[in-house]
Structures are given as C-alpha cells and as structure tokens.
Amino acid sequence: MKTPVIQAKDLNLTFETNDGPVHALKGVNLDIQQGDFVSFIGPSGCGKTTFLRCIAGLETPTGGSLTVNGMSPDDARKARAYGYVFQAAGLYPWRTIGGNIRLPLEIMGYSKQKQAEQVQRTLELVDLAGFEKKFPWQLSGGMQQRASIARALAFDADILLMDEPFGALDEIVRDHLNAELLKLWDRTGKTVGFVTHSIPEAVFLSTKIVVMSPRPGRITDVIESTLPRERPLEIRDSKEFIEIAHRVREGLKAGSEV
C-alpha cells in the first residue's frame, strides 16, 4: 500500500480557555491517500474545520502526529503543498478576477509569462474563461467562489483543502458547483479535503466520508463510498446513495447521543 498523503495518528488539540481546557480534537486517526476526495461532516464544534486547519498548518496540534506529504504540516505549508478555499470567496475587491488568481503566483515568484499561462489555464478549469478582466463585484456569489477555487488551484498544489466552500450559496448553485467540482477533481487527480455539514453534499462528492462528533471533537465513523467515480446528479436518487446517506446520518446520531 502507498504511503498516505495525509496521515494523522492519535492527534489531539486542546485550547486553553478561561472555562478550562476545550478538547477540539481528541485521538484522531486518519489516512488520506493520493487522489482521495475526503469529506468531513459533523455538527458545529466537532472539530472538522480545526482538523482541516491543522492539516494546513494554521493550527498547531497539542499531541499526536500529523504528516502532510511526509512532512510536518508547517513545512508542507511552506512548501506550498496545498491550496485552501475558505467559506467566503474573499476576493480582493481592488483586483480583477485575473489579478486575484495571480495573487498567489506573484507571492510565490512566478515569472510574468508563467503567471499569465496559469491564470488562463485555471480560469478555464473553473469555467470562468473571459472573466479575467472583471472585478469581483461584477460576478455572482457562485462565480466568485469558483474564482476563489481557481486561486487555490493556480499554483498546482496536489492537495486542495476546502472549508465549507459552498456553505453560503443557495442549493441550485451549490448542486451545479458540486458537479463542477467533481469534474475538476476527476480531471486533475488532486487529493481533496472537504468540510461540510450537508449530508447529500458529502455523499455525492466523496470517496471517503469522515463523520465527526463534538465534545471532545473526534471521528466516529469513516465510510468508504461504493459509488462509482463518474457521478451524475441523478445518482442521488439511487438506492446506494440513499444507503450511504443513511449510514452517515446514523453515525451523526450515534455521535450526538454519547
């Protein structure tokens, strides 16, 4: 078996607060393989976002081990191993769409010509070709979020970390973007970590669904999806899809009863 891209062993993260320690993550064990699409699902406070931030090196675990590409998360961050998509698009209003996608490339010191190439390529990848010169306010919320995905893809990191990227969008736009994201994942073969609290979204997208529960934040179930890689939106009406969704729901219920 290949070595996992992301590997967590007995990971703990405790925040010290005035009301005593808060166990944001406790005893988290997880392997993520190259090319996996892993969703983290659970109620608020279950540590799903915290875990994603640990992978990104934005939070430091207080115990256990965590490696990304065989390195510590902080080294991986410095090696620009991943692109991160936040819940809000967070595009700079003073930069055009092209300028926003160019931002990481400028910071990482790409040549002007290479920057232009990458911007063109990623714009096509998220279906925004022709919008390069537009400013963010000229785009809809869904298009802005696509631009922010393009920004995370621009520098060819192998890992894509997404923290409820479609949480603020309406369901129709969300469905559309989910389908687009799957296509993009299929084409690029990236490893994706995806935080959500929508069960259908998690089941539809993932090869692996990680169910988490709060107090302390921990993993209660890991479900390997049996759905095929090719997934039309209609797959959500299939028996298999409903069964997996059911298991996720049971896992969430079990977690909240403890």
Partner 1 sequence: MKHLLPVLTVVIALLAVWYIACIPMNVKEVLTTAERAGVPIDPPSAAERRDMGHLALVLRNTDALGGSWSQDRARLPSPHQITAELWKSTWEEEVNGRRGIVRSGSLSNRSLIYHGWITLSATFVGFLIGAGLGVLLAVGIVHSRVMDMSVMPWAIISQTIPIVALAPMIIVVLYSVGINGLIPKAIISAYLSFFPVVVGMVKGLRAPDHMQLDLLKTYNATKSQTFWKLRLPSSVPYLFTSLKIGIAASLVGAIVGELPVQRGGLGARMLGGSYYGQTEQIWAALFVAAGMAALLVWLIGWLEKRTLTRMGMLT
Q: Which residues bind partner 1 (CB under 8 A)?
A: 56, 58, 77-78, 80, 82-84, 86-88, 90, 92-96, 103-104, 106-108, 135, 137, 155
Distance CA 236, CA 12 (A): 35
Confirm if 68 and 84 have CB atoms less than 8 A apart. Answer: no
Cβ nearer to partner 1, comparing 90 with 232: 90
Distance CA 158, CA 234 (A): 29
Confirm if 134 and 97 have CB atoms less than 8 A apart. Answer: yes
DSSP 127-154: T-TT-TTS-GGGS-HHHHHHHHHHHHHT
Taking the complex as a whole, the smallest distance from the CB of residue 188 to partner 1 amounts, in Å, to 18
Cβ nearer to partner 1, comparing 32 with 81: 81
Cβ nearer to partner 1, comparing 119 with 211: 119
Taking the complex as a whole, the smallest distance from the CB of residue 215 to partner 1 amounts, in Å, to 24
Taking the complex as a whole, the smallest distance from the CB of residue 68 to partner 1 amounts, in Å, to 12
Residue 62 neighbours by CB distance under 10 Å: 15
Residue 106 neighbours by CB distance under 10 Å: 11
Secondary element (H or E) of residue 100: helix 97-107
Taking the complex as a whole, the smallest distance from the CB of residue 163 to partner 1 amounts, in Å, to 9
Taking the complex as a whole, the smallest distance from the CB of residue 18 to partner 1 amounts, in Å, to 21
Cβ nearer to partner 1, comparing 95 with 183: 95
Taking the complex as a whole, the smallest distance from the CB of residue 113 to partner 1 amounts, in Å, to 20
The three-state secondary structure class of 64 is strand
Confirm if 164 and 195 have CB atoms less than 8 A apart. Answer: yes
Taking the complex as a whole, the smallest distance from the CB of residue 106 to partner 1 amounts, in Å, to 7
Best CA proximity match to 191, nearest among 64, 37, 41, 31: 37
Query: Helical H runs in 154-238?
Result: 171-188, 199-205
CA distances, 85 to each of 7, 52, 227 (Å): 21, 11, 25
Cβ nearer to partner 1, comparing 32 with 199: 32
Cβ nearer to partner 1, comparing 138 with 238: 138
Cβ nearer to partner 1, comparing 14 with 87: 87
Confirm if 93 and 137 have CB atoms less than 8 A apart. Answer: yes
